[in-house]
Structure 1
Amino acid sequence: MTGTKDRILAAGAELFRQGGYAGTGVKQIVEAAGAPFGSLYHFFPGGKEQLGEEVVRSSGMQYIALFDLFVKPEAGLVDCIEAFFAAGVTSLLETDYVEGCPIATVALEVATTNETLRQATADVFTAWIDAGTERLEKFGLPRESARTLTITLITSLEGAFVLARSMRSTEPMAVAGTAVVDVARRLLAELG
């Protein structure tokens, strides 16, 4: 059985992904977690800000697993990138465009207003870039090229989620995926 703190973190992640940090109240979170109200402050004495930071950090680290899931050198680089964006389309359709990335959602809201959460989102994005760079190097790309492609992939995927959710269309995800594949092909061609 999942502990109360884990349920609160999971509920916070889900609600932040759907409604953002500012649009989610602590009462909503504890209700969604099936937890007593006081338990939030027991586990997160810093209140919503501490909960938000822990949600960002724990959710963000879970997303690193996507690199292991989708980036497999035996599959080929282009196929791996296409799989990333296909999964994005699936997520959008299965959630009726409600769910996006909780890290990006929080980052957009707090980048200029909350240093603790800004730093947490920056740390997560940096970890994603480092993890992606490491995995993309396995395709024979030099470190700098692997980092460039990782940043291109992450920014394109995140931007595609924003546009797709707003437009209620998977077109931005398809266009972004094609653009990242083009960058990957160019970098692979440079290897000779």
Structure 2
Amino acid sequence: MTEKMSTSTRDRLVTAMAELMRTHGYSGTSVKQVTVAAGAPMGSLYHHFPAGKPQIAAAALRTSGAAYIQLLPMLMDPYDDLRAAVPAAFAAAAEQIEQADWINMCPVGTVAGEIADSEPALREVAAEVIGDWIEQGTDYFVRRGVDPTAARDLILAILSALEGAFVLSRTLRTAEPLRSAGRAMGARIMELLAETRDGARARLNAT
């Protein structure tokens, strides 16, 4: 029973930290806010995270990152054609941020930009999370028929477009940047799939 309660407390603390960083950033979040949001005593935070705020922030980034990358297959698998799947994923993000009154969608991107120069250890954690996104995204698009090199290029473009569009949408208070980015990525998909088919034909003709 004690072990289950302890695990639950740790999970609540990590979730609270992730949500607070999403809305307030790393610098704007205090350990006191985390314990209040988690409904946990201050001592429990330092029990689970002896190094304090940087340690719980690292755990929150890793947990959030692992959850966010699962949205890729969840949003795109229903579509047989990637040319429809990618714009649909951006459209879903546009709808979500609009309905959520323009709150930040991703704590990883927010914190990565904020602490890139001020918190080297935490920047490395964010880089680890984003590196995992790139690896898993590349594997996903390869399974969907994209050439491996092109698949890596595609996931990098999608992540860059998505994070940039989040910033523009929140600032301008319109989902137009996300929808526009989705259409641009859909066009890029068409180019990459054509290149993949052309490469396959060339290899076939060469044999």
TM-score per shorter chain, which class?
A: over 0.9
Match of residue 127, structure 1, among 108, 113, 132: 132
Q: Distance in 2 between matches of 1:173 and 1:166?
A: 12
Match of 1:24 in 2: 29
Q: Distance in 2 between matches of 1:10 and 1:73?
A: 28
Unaligned runs of 5+ in 1: none
Match of 2:57 in 1: 52
Cα distance, 1:83 vs. partner? 2.2
- Please say if 1:95 is aligned against 2:100: yes
Unaligned runs of 5+ in 2: 199-207
Is the contact between residue 88 and residue 182 of structure 2 (CA under 8 Å) also seen in structure 1? no
Is the contact between residue 67 and residue 131 of structure 1 (CA under 8 Å) also seen in structure 2? no
Percent of aligned positions with the same letter in both sequences?
A: 43
Q: Distance in 1 between matches of 2:72 and 2:168?
A: 23
Is the contact between residue 71 and residue 136 of structure 1 (CA under 8 Å) also seen in structure 2? no
Q: What are the residue-to-residue correspondences of 1:53-68 with 2, within 5 Å?
A: 53-68=58-73
Match of 1:85 in 2: 90
Q: Distance in 2 between matches of 1:81 and 1:98?
A: 22
Is the contact between residue 71 and residue 135 of structure 1 (CA under 8 Å) also seen in structure 2? no
Cα distance, 1:72 vs. partner? 2.4
- Please say if 1:161 is aligned against 2:166: yes
Q: Distance in 2 between matches of 1:74 and 1:154?
A: 19
Match of residue 12, structure 1, among 17, 25, 32: 17
Say if 1:98 and 1:23 are closer, same or farther in 2 by CA, change over 3 A.
same
3-state SS of the aligned residue for 1:23? coil
Give the partner amino acid of 1:139: R
Is the contact between residue 87 and residue 179 of structure 2 (CA under 8 Å) also seen in structure 1? no
Q: Distance in 1 between matches of 2:92 and 2:23?
A: 18
Q: Distance in 2 between matches of 1:160 and 1:72?
A: 22
Is the contact between residue 91 and residue 99 of structure 1 (CA under 8 Å) also seen in structure 2? no
Q: What are the residue-to-residue correspondences of 1:140-159 with 2, within 5 Å?
A: 140-159=145-164
Give the partner amino acid of 1:153: I
